[in-house]
Structure 1
Amino acid sequence: MKLKLLILLLFFGNATLAQDSLFARRIVDTLTSKYFWGRGYTNDGMGKAARFIAQEFKRYGLQPMDGKDYFQPFTFNVNTFPGKMEVTINGAALRPGIDFIVSPESRGVAAKGTLEQKDSVTFIDAQNRVMVSLQNKLTWSVAQEVGDYTLIQVDKKALNAMPACISTNIENKLINNFKAANICGIVKGTVKPDSVMMFTAHYDHLGGMGSATYFPGANDNASGMAMLLSLAKYYAAHPESYTMAFMCFAGEEAGILGSKHFTENPLIPLSSIKFLINTDLAGTGGEGITVVNASVYPKQFELLKQVNAKGNYLTKVYSRGKAANSDHYWFTEKGVPAFFIYTMGGIKAYHDVFDVSKTLPLNEYNDLFKLIVGFNAELMK
């Protein structure tokens, strides 16, 4: 009888863990789908993602942080590429996102010209203010303004000879006061509702470059959003003595703008936040995790390592100092203790069209989830 009971417990325990991974995979598949168009600035990608997350919060039973709705709106300028995205070099048409990217601050241009070599990787069409830069890897980003030139970064492997002539048909549009929103929800504490543990992740990514190419952003940061939603769902079903707050930020890729806006316009007192955990790039973990601010908060970092060792979760927990590389930063600047946790190993896709769900392993997702829950429990003691 005892053996049968043990087998049943093990079966249902493993089923629960598998379900956690399945939940994460569904979230990542959803957020990286074409419908959300890279969760960016064209095709209402970011707006669709914001509404999806708010619906999930409501479905889990989270309350709006301000008592009204889940949205904290703000605006910023952004340069977009909604239309034509055509580049031909030496008579060969290049593929957007695969063979070339347009630097995010570039202006639109429709022209033909010859290229003058400036160094081993730089070629210029001075008449049309077009520059070609040969790269080993293409990495895109977001710009809030438009330059007076067009910079095209080309994968070296896409060309059989040095660039000599170029034809471009690229459309850009600067959007002033682009409308974005942070998504904010809470699970009220049962004993100490004025004490807050906060979990954050950014839901935006790079969006689309032209009308046919988008950047899925599986690891960055659909994976972190899956972790945040897993935590939100868990704590909604298992309320703690402290209030659990969940912040999904927009504008991270444009300069960690959503978190900056929240810290300057907080919906809850920042002094009530006892600790903050920010998750970004949470989709791998075969080589462990890195913890930003570990050296800033050594006692909490030691506690995290103890929880990890006791649970035998992740192979390594690396320490890193202060860094302005994600949404935790503005909170730390305001005196809120915070860790930014990201996974190590696995895929190398980052800010490119190859950061897709099907190659994201999520191999340490369950262990990272358990580590965060265990660490959070220790912090509340």
Structure 2
Amino acid sequence: MRKRLLYFFIAFCITGSAAAQNIDKIITKDYVDGLIKTLSSDDMQGRGTFTPGIDKAATFIEGEFKKIGLQPLKGADGYRQTFYKYQLKPSLTEVSVDGKTIEPEKVLVVGNHSEALQFDNTNSDGWIKMDPEKPFMEQYRTIVRNKKKQLVLVDVKFVDVFKRIKAYLESGSVLDEKDLKESSSALVFVLDQDTVANNFKVNLKNSISKMPLFNVAGMIPGKSKAKELVIFSGHYDHLGILPAVDQDSIANGADDDASGTTAMIALAKYYKKLHNNERTLIFVAFTAEEIGGFGARYFSQQLNPDDVVAMFNIEMIGKESKFGKNSAFITGFDKSDFGKILQKNLAGSPFTFHPDPYPQQNLFYRSDNATLAALGVPAHTISTDQIDTDKLYHTVKDEYSSLDTENILMTIKAIAKSALSIVKGTDTPTRIPKLQQ
């Protein structure tokens, strides 16, 4: 009996050691670095939606999926999951305040007006002024969510973020066909204007084009629990070309989210080599996260959310987290026992998962996990970004050279190990309460 126990103990140790060696051989620093460097290279032109750069990035991801040996999703003849949206680009923007024409470079328009739109202070929601003492983005998000026809005055101290958003929006906004038929709204932000003494006038027009978007998705079929799905994801789009800073205009998006997309690809390679998944694993690089989460939304509509056991969305793991080395946080930690399962599987290791330390940022419903989470899926985002102090976020300085590549490697390995019981079908996270429709 003692000999038998000793045999099993030795076998267990050998198996555990082999698994540890396997992950170090499969997910190597050179492999991870190669993926991130390629995805965040200048050649990808910032991976802006509807640009040649994002097509190059998709082709690269397809090539990696093919090398790994992933299968296309059921019913698909390739890795691209193509769908269509309508792109609106401003063709006419005229704004005047108290009879004075505002220079075009001082006007930023947010709206879904598909036709010519004219309004003034008598037939709109009037005008407001942003508080110069409060964070710009916090105010901006609140105003945009209101979907009004309104003039918004912006203090000159916000000039840098104003120009950044303006450059991004002028590349075009994206709408569903049904949105084109809904009542139009337009928020017109005017820089360096203190007040409206008497009146204002706005005259806007957009051009409309039907354009393709594409997620890149592959799968490893499950065995005994093949109908149950586990999703690993990251978004591969970014902001494209921005106003130049020190002669650099490419928003490379190394952390946001080449790091997460790299993790997703590396995990696909790891689990394909392991070949022990009882559940079906889906690996997907989402498009259009930066312009409204269209890729994740379309993907979610193609499957039954009741079949999805868990979703590991990975976003911005390129730097040390607020909790120090060997740590990451999980959005919506308290909404299911997903995080507790992951931490249980890392018992004895130095890596720890923590609840989201930035609840005021509402990150849980701001990333690509949101659509499935709203439908009851234990869909969470894993990140290490210190979002409240990250000065490189959405700038041209988010480059490979700014990353802590060791942090990325350790986080990917921690996710790989912590997800094993879910992948193998021995753990099932509790469902998230569905959002009221």
Aligned counterpart, 2:283 = 246
Q: Does 1:338 align with 2:346?
A: no
Aligned counterpart, 1:204 = 237
TM-score, with structure 1 as normaliser: 0.71
**CA contact 2:232–2:311 (8 Å) conserved in 1:** yes
String of CA shifts for 1:73-95, please: whole Å, max 9, x gaps: 122344569xxxxxxxxxxxxxx
Q: Does 1:134 align with 2:161?
A: no
Unpaired segments of 5 or more residues in structure 2? 1-13, 91-104, 112-128, 134-151, 175-184, 193-204, 427-437
Aligned counterpart, 2:8 = none
Cα deviation for residue 318 of structure 1 reads 2.5
Give the whole-Å Cα distance in 2 for the aligned partners of 1:349 and 1:308: 31
Q: Does 1:226 align with 2:262?
A: yes
Listed as ranges, the matches of 1:176-215 within 5 Å are: 176-209=209-242, 213-215=249-251
* Helix, strand or coil at the partner of 2:365: coil
Shifted more, 45-54 versus 209-218: the winner is 209-218
Give the whole-Å Cα distance in 1 for the aligned partners of 2:61 and 2:107: 30
Aligned counterpart, 1:110 = none
Aligned counterpart, 1:76 = 85
Cα deviation for residue 242 of structure 1 reads 1.6
Aligned counterpart, 2:342 = 304
**CA contact 2:230–2:309 (8 Å) conserved in 1:** yes
String of CA shifts for 1:98-122, please: whole Å, max 9, x gaps: xx9995749xxxxxxxxxxx99969
* Helix, strand or coil at the partner of 2:271: helix
Cα deviation for residue 137 of structure 1 reads 6.0
TM-score, with structure 2 as normaliser: 0.63
**CA contact 1:295–1:319 (8 Å) conserved in 2:** no
* Helix, strand or coil at the partner of 1:306: helix
String of CA shifts for 1:7-29, please: whole Å, max 9, x gaps: xx99x959937962222221111
Aligned counterpart, 2:52 = 44
Aligned counterpart, 1:26 = 34
Question: As a proportion of its length, which structure holds more helix?
Answer: 2
**CA contact 1:79–1:104 (8 Å) conserved in 2:** no
Cα deviation for residue 335 of structure 1 reads 2.0
Aligned counterpart, 1:164 = none
**CA contact 1:76–1:144 (8 Å) conserved in 2:** no
Unpaired segments of 5 or more residues in structure 1? 1-5, 82-99, 107-117, 123-128, 154-171
Aligned counterpart, 2:302 = 265
String of CA shifts for 1:274-303, please: whole Å, max 9, x gaps: 111100011123433221121110x32222
Cα deviation for residue 204 of structure 1 reads 0.6
Give the whole-Å Cα distance in 2 for the aligned partners of 1:195 and 1:333: 19
Distance 1:175 1:194, change over 3 A: same
Give the whole-Å Cα distance in 2 for the aligned partners of 1:57 and 1:76: 26
Between structure 1 and structure 2, the one with the greater Rg is: 2
* Helix, strand or coil at the partner of 1:193: strand
Distance 1:305 1:105, change over 3 A: same
* Helix, strand or coil at the partner of 2:227: strand
**CA contact 1:77–1:178 (8 Å) conserved in 2:** yes
Give the whole-Å Cα distance in 1 for the aligned partners of 2:382 and 2:32: 17
Say which of 312, 318, 325 aligns to 2:366.
325
Listed as ranges, the matches of 1:51-200 within 5 Å are: 51-67=59-75, 68-78=77-87, 105=110, 133-135=156-158, 138=161, 140=165, 142=169, 144=173, 176-200=209-233
Listed as ranges, the matches of 1:284-295 within 5 Å are: 284-287=319-322, 288-295=327-334
Shifted more, 288-297 versus 219-228: the winner is 288-297
Cα deviation for residue 264 of structure 1 reads 1.9
Distance 1:150 1:14, change over 3 A: same
Coordinate RMSD, CA, aligned:
3.8
String of CA shifts for 1:30-87, please: whole Å, max 9, x gaps: 1111221111136412122112111111111000013411111122344569xxxxxx
Shifted more, 324-333 versus 130-139: the winner is 130-139
Distance 1:101 1:187, change over 3 A: farther
* Helix, strand or coil at the partner of 1:275: strand
Give the whole-Å Cα distance in 2 for the aligned partners of 1:273 and 1:45: 31
Say which of 317, 341, 357 aligns to 1:282.
317
Distance 1:225 1:189, change over 3 A: same
Give the whole-Å Cα distance in 2 for the aligned partners of 1:194 and 1:372: 22
**CA contact 1:286–1:363 (8 Å) conserved in 2:** no
Give the whole-Å Cα distance in 1 for the aligned partners of 2:403 and 2:87: 29
Distance 1:302 1:121, change over 3 A: closer
**CA contact 2:288–2:295 (8 Å) conserved in 1:** yes
Give the whole-Å Cα distance in 1 for the aligned partners of 2:82 and 2:51: 19
Distance 1:15 1:307, change over 3 A: closer
Give the whole-Å Cα distance in 1 for the aligned partners of 2:278 and 2:24: 24
Aligned counterpart, 1:377 = 420
Give the whole-Å Cα distance in 2 for the aligned partners of 1:120 and 1:105: 19
String of CA shifts for 1:147-203, please: whole Å, max 9, x gaps: 6867679xxxxxxxxxxxxxxxxxx98563331111110011233222221101111
**CA contact 1:190–1:241 (8 Å) conserved in 2:** yes
**CA contact 1:46–1:180 (8 Å) conserved in 2:** no
* Helix, strand or coil at the partner of 1:244: strand
